[in-house]
Amino acid sequence: MTEPSSRPDELRAIIGRSPYLSWLGLELLDLRQGAIEVSATWREEWVANPVIGQTQGGILAALVDFAANFSLFADIGRPVLTVDLRVDYHRIATRGNLIAKGHLVKLGRQVSVCEGQVFDLQGRLVSSGRGTFLTAPADEKR
């Protein structure tokens, strides 16, 4: 098992290898047991409504999923599969970087429950969600 102190570097490497996560402009701000915080760099391609500059809901859902999923990373040291995800949209996100935070609710042997939240740079909650994630050991997934 990898030492937790090296986990931030491992996660940065995963983000760097993933075309989608890199495209989201994710930057790790904090990683600790049961929690994560990242920033996402705004891009013009995120816009769903060009009149008001509204960020597309799929981007917000992806950030909720990432934050919830990777809140497990310091605990188990690997990405996991999303089994189920519910997302709520609280306000329109307009042009600007976003902050995504995730935390572990329940670490289970087979599945775990985590939550994610996305904030604008004024600290306003934009979207949130809860998901279940497959945390069974690799040899039990077959």
- In order along its 142 residues, the chain shows pLDDT tens digits of 445 568 999 999 999 999 999 999 999 999 999 999 999 999 999 999 999 999 999 999 999 999 999 999 999 999 999 999 999 999 999 999 999 999 999 999 999 999 999 999 999 999 999 999 999 987 655 4
CA dist 134 and 5 (Å) reads 24
Q: What are phi and psi of 134, to 5 degrees?
A: -75, 110
Max distance between CA atoms of the chain, in angstroms, equals 50
Domains of the chain, CATH where assigned: 4-140 (3.10.129.10)
* H or E segment to which residue 37 belongs: strand 35-40
Question: pTM, whole model, 2 decimals?
Answer: 0.92
